[in-house]
Chain A
Amino acid sequence: MSEIDPISLKPAIEKYIPLGRSGLLPALHAAQKIYGWLSESVASEVAKNLNVPLADVHGVIEFYSLFYNKPVGKKIIRVCTDQACALKGGDGLLEHLCHHYDVKPRQTTEDLSLTIEPSPCLGLCELAPAVWTMDNERSTIGDGAQEEDRPSSSVYGPIRELTKNCGDGTTSLKKYGEYTALQKALRMKPEDVVAEIKASGLVGRGGAAFPTGIKWEGAAKAVADQKYIICNADESEPGTFKDRILLLDDPHSAIEGMCIAAYAIGANKGYIYIRGEYPYIVPVLETALNEARVAGYLGELFDIEIRVGAGAYICGEETALFESIEGKRGFPRVKPPFPTTNGLFDKPTVINNVETLCNVPLIISKGSLEYRKIGTEKSPGSKLFCVSGDVTQPGLYEAPFGVTLRELLDMAGGVSNFLRPERSRRTRLQSVLFGGAAGAFATPEHLDVKMTFEDLRAVGLPLGSGVVMVFDETRDMRDVLKRLGKFFAHESCGKCYPCQMGTQRQMEILNRVAKSETLPEDFIRLQDVGWTMTDASLCGLGQTAASAVLSAMKIWPELFMESNGLPLEKKDERGKKATGTKVKAKPKKTSKASRDAEAKPKPAVKNIAKNKTNARRK
């Protein structure tokens, strides 16, 4: 890699210097854009300019998967290998691309032109198998044969309230029209705006299902010189892609929602925190924000800044997100205190999901009474469902709360058989992963459950972020579970012990399950790890990291028993041999050992892309 000249770095990071530590992520992004990766000298320059301790800057680079402290290719192809994509041949595509370019996964070509990496969910699940390519600064979506600058939006469903401006490219302000809901809100007293949101019964769509009005009220009542409103667009829950479509096609809805929230709680500054894997949304948002500034909706009283994440699912957790904006590793904070009193920069903060905020202009425009005409008493309004996997027509479905799973699957053309499409009509549903990786599995017996917060809760299914990932009867659920295990082990922040070690142990056991190499007592071991994470973890990640696994253990206990892969009749034959005679496999290399091992031999293709995060997970 060429010598680093700080001359070109300085102008690129200059505007972040006044932000101090809070400018760290933007500055690192800017630096990485110039050099492709973050070398020691670049990192020290950034540290010096922003006045952040060196060790802290290094700690931050190490935390985020999209920051590299070893050279990587100018072009990086990331292939999603999470659940929805795996169903559509994600692994095969990764293999094919590696073969085609003659590199191994996570390796960089000697001339530093290309790196290919497997990736966690890219938020493109309905387009599976998903591939995201960064070539210098150009971001594209597509499998190499077909490349697009932005992903297409497939939007369906019986009602189009939230999605009325979606499916047809970005909606400009001209097309969106004036912010009439904001204008109406400004004629109301702030407390009346809060009251209207409360009356609407709006519940957060980011996964935690917290009543939005109550959250706003808390922040409105807090006394402080500065308050913040944050739009959570980190969307990294495997299977979720709704916020991508909302922001890409209808950025003004979310922005108007933020303006109304800001007025209601008295915030003077807003942030949109968007995941690093969605770079193509950033210019769309910038344009929309500028349009809103020109129109006078944003300005001195209230303005919005975009912050881009860098590859960390945990940064969708609200307090980890604050830490990330503050320029730190995305470690969740202990609660209480809660964000409404001690949020970003320790100030009262309202953080809402994109979809939640998009509901706000609707509610204010129509009034809560009218809004409540859709949906059910306890789950008013419409909901976006991210339908992926084995259905004929994956995509984003808007439907009123109360729609059943059966109705939703019918809308999506029914269960399909990916490998043998001609058999689709005879292919039956095996299960549905509800709510994402942090969710739970539903089975055909749940087909007629109404999809509302209350009905789903009654049968132990979380609505989560609206993920409906469908598996047909031919799918091996052990493979799905293995990927879940890997996802959480990769994404645990490492702060608290139950999740830091539990996600690792869970992954190890699920790997054994997938290979039919379970050890005696793995069932109980997995259960103990799962319950310990659920009961004792510090944040929502660890508390839900075993949720889907524990639900699978209830539905398919046989998968977790010894010699699980064998057909029933063979089980007896092997039975005696299998019990308790598992030969201990060689202990796995530790991460440190594998790092050392890499340093030694120099293969034809340099192994340099294998740094930090990438070296971690096989």
Chain B
Amino acid sequence: MITLTIDGKELTIEDGKTLLDAARENGIDIPTICFHEATTANALCRICVVEVEGQRALQPACIVKAATSMKVQTRSEKVIRARRTILEMLASTLDLSESLEIQNMMHDYGASSSRFPDAERRESDVKDDNPMYVRDYSKCLLCWRCVQVCADDAQYTFAINFTGRGFETQIGTFFDKAIPETSCVLCGQCVGVCPTGALKPKREFLLEQGMSPNEISVLNTGRKRRK
């Protein structure tokens, strides 16, 4: 067992747990975006950062292991500024209309969606190229989960990877090929882990477009969704 202090409260927790575990088990809220039980944690969104005494940089709670006599602050000024600014940059970059969780976070942190005027957005056309799912990367927040489940976190299909670099990173296929021309087996795992509606079942997409369920069933859109 490990004893540490979070936000002034002394807590005890099993060995090997992360700061996020420790906080959650004790009812302290730390927001997460990229973290997902089913995928390897990459600690890339940095929304979960906390201040650990003695460390210059903020630490991602989702991967940093709790250690004895650690002193952690989950809501220091630095932490709030970082979380708020990350959220504001996300809002200025992509379409968060279907990311309710992030909208809630923005509310919690007083983040303004118009904080960055004249900012370049990461936009792209909707890719509707297969019977199973639709890809709208304007909504993609690059959590990497789809790439990971398509690769060695689950499916070993390796149909998708990254294109570009830096701000212009996107998820893409080999030379931008349509999904049916790739190794994709339409397993739908990527759709299952996508947090933002960037990957969406075709059926749902068509319903949103105003088609009726009957019209859609004639189209035979991929696998039947399990109830």
Contact = CB atoms under 8 A, between A and B. Distances in A.
Contacts of A334: 42-43, 60, 63
Interface string B44-62: 1111010000000110100
A532 B151 CA distance: 31
Contact of A500 (B57, B167, B182): B167
B120 A588 contact: yes
Contact of B46 (A44, A493, A497): A497
Interface stretch (B7-15, B19-27, B84-92): B84-92
Interface in B147-165: 151, 158-165
Given A58-B174, A334-B43, A536-B46, A501 B168 contact: no
A528 interface: yes
Interface stretch (B121-129, B196-204, B208-216): B121-129
A59 B162 contact: yes
Interface residues on B, range: 35 or more
Given A535-B58, A535-B78, A592-B123, A519 B166 contact: no
A54 B43 contact: no
B40 to A, nearest CB: 10
B172 A613 contact: no
A497 B44 contact: yes
A525 interface: yes
A54 B49 contact: no
B109 interface: no
B119 A505 contact: yes
A58 B89 contact: no
A504 B166 contact: yes
A381 interface: no
A59 B163 contact: yes
A543 B82 CA distance: 12
Interface string B170-199: 001111000000110000000000000000
Contacts of B108: none
Given A535-B57, A536-B82, A584-B118, A494 B163 contact: no
A490 B167 CA distance: 8
Given A55-B182, A56-B158, A497 B89 contact: yes
Contacts of A587: 118, 120-121
B217 interface: no
Interface string B134-151: 000000011000000001
A612 interface: yes
Given A498-B46, A538-B43, A493 B166 contact: yes
A498 B82 contact: yes
B81 A531 contact: yes
A615 to B, nearest CB: 9
Interface string A491-508: 111111110111111001
B220 interface: no
A581 interface: no
Given A329-B162, A504-B166, A612-B164, A584 B89 contact: no
B143 to A, nearest CB: 10
Given A497-B45, A536-B58, A612 B163 contact: yes
Interface in A41-99: 43-44, 53-59, 62-63, 69
B169 interface: yes
B93 interface: yes
Contact of A508 (B49, B120, B159, B172): B120
A492 B165 contact: yes
Interface residues of A, number: 57
Contacts of B164: 62, 494, 591, 612, 616
A230 interface: no
A131 interface: no
Nearest to A69: B175
B58 A519 contact: no
A348 B218 CA distance: 58
Contacts of B166: 489-494, 500, 503-504, 616
A460 to B, nearest CB: 13
Contacts of B168: 494, 591, 616
Nearest to B48: A536
Given A498-B46, A498-B86, A584-B117, A43 B175 contact: yes
A593 interface: yes
A495 B144 CA distance: 9
Given A496-B45, A584-B117, A592-B123, A501 B167 contact: yes
Contact of B183 (A54, A503, A585): A54
Nearest to B118: A585
A323 to B, nearest CB: 12
Interface in A316-353: 329, 334
A538 B44 contact: yes
B121 A503 contact: no
Nearest to A590: B123
Given A63-B162, A525-B115, A612-B164, A500 B142 contact: yes
Interface string A287-301: 000000000000000
Contacts of A588: 118, 120
B173 to A, nearest CB: 6
Given A501-B90, A529-B85, A55 B120 contact: no
A234 to B, nearest CB: 16
A592 B90 CA distance: 18
B81 A528 contact: yes
A516 to B, nearest CB: 15
Contacts of B42: 334, 495
B169 A500 contact: yes
Interface string B14-44: 0000000000000000000100000000111
Contacts of A491: 166
B120 A535 contact: no
A489 B167 CA distance: 7
B122 A590 contact: yes
A80 B187 CA distance: 47
A504 to B, nearest CB: 4
A591 B44 contact: no
Nearest to A491: B166
Nearest to A330: B165
11 contacts: A43-B174, A494-B142, A497-B33, A498-B85, A502-B89, A531-B85, A532-B82, A535-B82, A587-B118, A590-B122, A616-B165
Given A55-B159, A494-B167, 17 more contacts: A53-B151, A55-B172, A55-B182, A69-B175, A492-B167, A496-B46, A497-B90, A498-B89, A500-B169, A504-B119, A504-B120, A505-B119, A508-B118, A532-B81, A535-B58, A590-B121, A591-B120
Interface of A: 40, 43-44, 53-59, 62-63, 69, 312, 329, 334, 489-498, 500-505, 508, 512, 519, 525, 528-529, 531-532, 534-538, 543, 584-585, 587-588, 590-593, 612-613, 616
Interface of B: 33, 42-47, 49, 57-58, 60, 63, 78, 81-82, 84-86, 89-90, 92-93, 115-125, 141-142, 151, 158-169, 172-175, 182-183
Shortest beta-carbon contacts, A-B, top 10: A53-B158, A59-B161, A494-B169, A492-B166, A504-B167, A55-B161, A54-B174, A501-B89, A532-B85, A536-B82
